[in-house]
Amino acid sequence: MFKSLLLVSVFLLALAQVHAVAASAAAESKPQSVEQQETSSKPATTARAVITNHKVQIGGKELSYQACAGTLPVQNDAGETEAEIFYVSYRMPQPASAPPRPLLFVFNGGPGAASVWLHLGALGPRRVQMLPDGNMPAPPFHLVDNGSSWLDVADLVFVDPVGTGYSRAVKPDLAKKFSAVQADIDSLDRFIRLYLTRNGRWNAPVFLVGESYGTFRSAGLAEHLVEHGVALNGVILISSVLNMQTITFDYGNDLPYQLFLPSYTATAWYHHKLAPELQADLDRTLAQAEQWAGSEYLWALNKGDRLTPAERKAVAEKLARFTGLGIDLVENRNLRVDNRDFAKELLRGEGRMVGLMDSRLNAENPEPGRHLGFDATVTTIRPPFTSAVNAYLREELGYQSDLEYFVLGGGIGRWDWEAKNSYADTGENLRNAMVKNPYLKVLIASGLFDLATPHFATDYTVAHLGVGGELRRNISIKRYRSGHMMYLESDALAQLKKDAAEFIGQTLKR
C-alpha cells in the first residue's frame, strides 16, 4: 500500500551544471546551447546544457544569477552510459577571492516524482502562483518571482532521478534497473560526483535536500557518498519517511495506527470536528493526543483481542474523541483506522473527503462507499505545476525537448523495494553516515496536516536511530501548521526558508 501512497506523494530535484564565464549582471541573455568542453579524459557522452542569466528579488534585494538546464550521463564502472539525468541548476557568480558557496542537491520523492515540486514550489527563484492558502487558482497558471528562494543562501541543483522529468535510461531494457532502491541511490551518487568534477565544486560545502521518498533516498545517499569520499555538511529532510514500517498499514503491523493518530487529531481540529475543549488550543490538544497514542492506545493495540469489552469501549471512546470519527465506526474498524479510511470518513456528512498530502484541502467524494480513488491534494497541485514547468523550461530557460516531462509517475515501472520479509529502511544509513562523519547536521521539517508522512512517525524514527548524545544534538526538528508540501502556503513557505537559512548558516560555523 505504501507504494501506491507514495506514488501520489511528491518530490525532488535535477542534475548537473556546466557553467560558462559569468555574464554581465545588467540584463538577461538569450539562451546559449553549450557543449561540454573536451578534456584530456573525454566523457563517454557529450551532454547538452543551456545557460541563461536572470535577476530576482529575494528578501528585498535584487540578485543576479545564472541558470543551467541540461543533462549528465550515468555511467557504469566500465564507463558505459546507461542513463541521462536531467537537472536545472542555479548559481550566483562570485568574486574569485570569495569562499565557495554552499551547494544544495535537491530531490523530490514518489518514487516517480520529478524535482519540479521543490524547484517551482519552494527553493527555486521562480515559483508557481497558488492561492494564499495553497489551493489551486483558476487556469491558466502563472510563475512569479520567489521572494523566499534559497538562492541567496546557496547554489541549487534540482535533480530528476531516472524515470522522472526528462531523465531516461538510454535503452528501454535498462529502465527497470533504475526502479529500485539501491540503483536509484547509486545513480544519484554517480551524478553528484560527476557534477562536482565537471563544475569544479569539490571544495564546496555540500548539502542534500529531499522531500518524501526524497528523504528516504537522501538518507541512503548520505552514507553512500561518504563511502565515495563526499562528506556532507548537512541533510534537510522535508516530510520525511526513512522507515517504511511506520507508514504501511499492513495486517499485523499496528505501528502506523498510533503514529498517524496525532495527524488525525490535527486534521479534525482544522475541520472543527473535535469537542470544544479540544478545539481551544491545537498545541495542547496535540500533546494530549501524542501522549495517549504512545501509552494507552499503544497498550490497547498490543493487547489486541485480549481487551475486555469495557477496555475496548473506553479505548473506542478516546479514539473517537481524538479523531472526530463516530464510536461505531472506530469499533467497526477494530480500533484501527488507516489514513485513507480517515480521509474518506471525516467529512462524510458533507459529502467531502480530505487530502492525504494536505488534509486541510478537500474535494467532493463522488463515491463515498468506495475506497479513495484519488488524493484531493494531488488533484490540486498537478495541473498548475505540470503546466508551469513545461512553459518555464522551454520559454524562460530555453531548454527544448519533445520528451514528456514526467512530473509524478509515468516514467518508472514497479518499484523494487529490495526488502525481503521486512520493511525498507534507510534510517540505519543516516545513522551510519553521522557516525562516519560526525560533522553532518540534519534538519527535519514536518507538517501537522500531513496524512502521507506524519510528524509523529518521523519523531518515532528519529528516536530509534540509535545515535549517542553528541550526535543527537546534530539533529533539529521543525513543525509547521501545514501539510506534506508546507511551501504551498505563503506563511509556511517563508518559515521554511528562514529555518533552512539558519540551519545552513549554523552548520557552516566553525
498-505's contacts with Cβ under 8 Å and 24+ in sequence apart are: 499/443, 499/445, 500/150, 500/153, 500/236, 500/443, 501/150, 501/153, 503/234, 503/236, 503/441, 503/443, 503/476, 504/102, 504/153, 504/154, 504/207, 504/234, 505/153
Residue 252 lies in a domain: no
Residue 254 lies in a domain: no
Among the candidates 357, 377, 397, a domain finishes at 377
Confidence of residue 235 (pLDDT cuts 50, 70, 90): very high
Which cell is 447 given? 507538517
Residue 366 confidence (pLDDT): 77
Residue 258 lies in a domain: no
Residue 267 lies in a domain: no
Task: State the Cα–Cα distance between residues 399 and 389, nearest whole angstrom.
Answer: 11
Note whether 112 and 95 are same-domain residues.
yes
Mean pLDDT value across residues 460-466: 96
Residue 372 confidence (pLDDT): 60
Of 14-28, 112-126, 143-157, 284-298, where does mean pLDDT reach its minimum? 14-28
Residue 367 predicted with pLDDT over 50: yes
Query: Which amino acid, residue 334?
Result: N
Note whether 207 and 318 are same-domain residues.
no
Residue 419 confidence (pLDDT): 83
Confidence of residue 363 (pLDDT cuts 50, 70, 90): confident
Task: State the Cα–Cα distance between residues 116 and 400, nearest whole angstrom.
Answer: 17
Note whether 180 and 38 are same-domain residues.
yes
Residue 410 confidence (pLDDT): 82
Mean pLDDT value across residues 400-429: 90
Residue 262 lies in a domain: no
Residue 26 predicted with pLDDT over 70: no
Among the candidates 377, 407, 431, a domain finishes at 377
Note whether 350 and 434 are same-domain residues.
no
Note whether 49 and 187 are same-domain residues.
yes
Residue 7 predicted with pLDDT over 90: no
Residue 131 confidence (pLDDT): 87
Q: Which CATH number belongs to the domain containing residue 93 in this structure?
A: 3.40.50.1820
Residue 279 confidence (pLDDT): 98
Of 197-201, 365-369, 466-470, where does mean pLDDT reach its minimum? 365-369
Please state the φ and ψ torsions of residue 197, each to the nearest 5 degrees: -70, -50
Residue 438 lies in a domain: yes
Residue 19 confidence (pLDDT): 38
237 CB burial (10 A radius; 0-12, 13-18, 19+): buried
Residue 9 confidence (pLDDT): 43
Residue 145 predicted with pLDDT over 90: yes
Note whether 68 and 175 are same-domain residues.
yes
- Is the pTM higher than 0.85? The answer reads yes
**pLDDT digit string (tens) for 164-195?**
999 999 998 888 999 999 999 999 999 999 99
Q: How many domains does the chain have?
A: 2
Note whether 200 and 326 are same-domain residues.
no
Q: What is the mean pLDDT of the chain?
A: 89
Confidence of residue 489 (pLDDT cuts 50, 70, 90): confident
Note whether 28 and 113 are same-domain residues.
yes
Residue 185 lies in a domain: yes
Residue 469 confidence (pLDDT): 86
Note whether 322 and 459 are same-domain residues.
no
Percentage of the chain beyond pLDDT 70 is: 89
Residue 73 confidence (pLDDT): 96
Residue 255 lies in a domain: no
With contact defined as beta carbons under 8 Å apart, do 192 and 225 qualify? yes
Note whether 495 and 465 are same-domain residues.
yes
Confidence of residue 37 (pLDDT cuts 50, 70, 90): very low
Q: Which domain holds residue 460?
A: 2-246+384-508
Other CB atoms within 10 A of residue 345 CB: 21
**pLDDT digit string (tens) for 338-347?**
999 999 999 9
Other CB atoms within 10 A of residue 74 CB: 28
Note whether 373 and 398 are same-domain residues.
no
Among the candidates 377, 404, 430, a domain finishes at 377
Note whether 456 and 476 are same-domain residues.
yes
